[in-house]
Amino acid sequence: MVASHRSLRVADSLYCYIWQGMGNNCNAAFFPDLLRGEHPHVLVDPGHIRNEFREDCFLSLTEAMKKDGFRVEDVGLVVSTHCHPDHFEASQVVAEKSQALVALSREEGEFYQTMGIKFYDMLGGKAPPLEPTFYLQEGDLNVGAKTKVNLKVLLTPGHSPGSISLYWPEEKILISGDVVFFASVGRTDFPGGSPPLLRKSIERLSQLDVEHLIPGHSTEPGKIISGKSKVERNFQMVKMFV
């Protein structure tokens, strides 16, 4: 199978796998060799297993990772920005292959147990179990790292009640999940969505010093948003939508 993810090395310790298939799937972020032990990689938002066009999204991701010399079996932690199927469905497969822990915010975990799982039913998919899991809190993501990557977890609800963004101040990189995209913002018409909360979250993210914004989906094919002025202009523009 030809991978439908484009690999982009955004920093020494960060690869972005940008989805460019036909149907829906998210971009994944990947921090190699971050953790101590036999499963050192951290994967953010593994995405769909298979999407509405029957594209093998997860297989594509693993192929793209393999080309860069990484195995999904060596992932020790999956971080989920939120629990929607196009971000979270494959987390279970990663956990099965690697015994990786799955992490998301407590707010999103609680939402998942009540309404989030039903959302999978609505879309005709199968919701992955939430085990093994630990909850992320607002603040430093402290995972006993062997490489110094000081990530900050920001609670940025609105698209989903417990959506998080990840900010890496040293590299000025922001992984925003489905809060903000290039020239667009996350939908608020899914279960638990809230336009006022999304507006607040976007306002908060726009205060950060960001050189590379990695959105959950690329509205410019194959691209992330790079360059401080382009990121700032994008925030100015999207604030008019929310």
82 closest CA partner among 211, 184, 217, 209? 217
Smallest separation, CB 86 to Zn ion (Å): 6
CB within 8 Å of 69: residues ≥ 6 apart: none
Comparing every residue's Cβ against Zn ion, the nearest one is 84
Separation of alpha carbons 57 and 19, rounded Å: 8
CB nearer Zn ion, residue 107 or residue 178: 178
212 closest CA partner among 177, 159, 168? 168
Structure tokens at 153: 């977890």
Structure tokens at 58: 């997860």
CB nearer Zn ion, residue 41 or residue 87: 87
CB nearer Zn ion, residue 25 or residue 92: 25
Separation of alpha carbons 45 and 175, rounded Å: 10
CB nearer Zn ion, residue 12 or residue 189: 189
Crossing angle of helices 228-238 and 195-206, in 10° steps, is 160
With CB under 5 A as the contact rule, the residue among 168, 178, 179, 213 that binds Zn ion is 178
Contact between 108 and Zn ion per CB under 5 A: no
Interface segment toward Zn ion; rule CB under 5 A; list 49-57, 68-76, 120-128, 174-182? 174-182
Residues 80-99 vs Zn ion: string with x where CB under 5 A? Answer: ----x---------------
Q: Tell me if 17 sits within 8 A of 65, measured CB to CB.
A: yes
CB nearer Zn ion, residue 171 or residue 178: 178
How many chain residues bind Zn ion (CB under 5 A)? 2
Contact between 48 and Zn ion per CB under 5 A: no
Interface positions with Zn ion (CB under 5 A): 84, 178
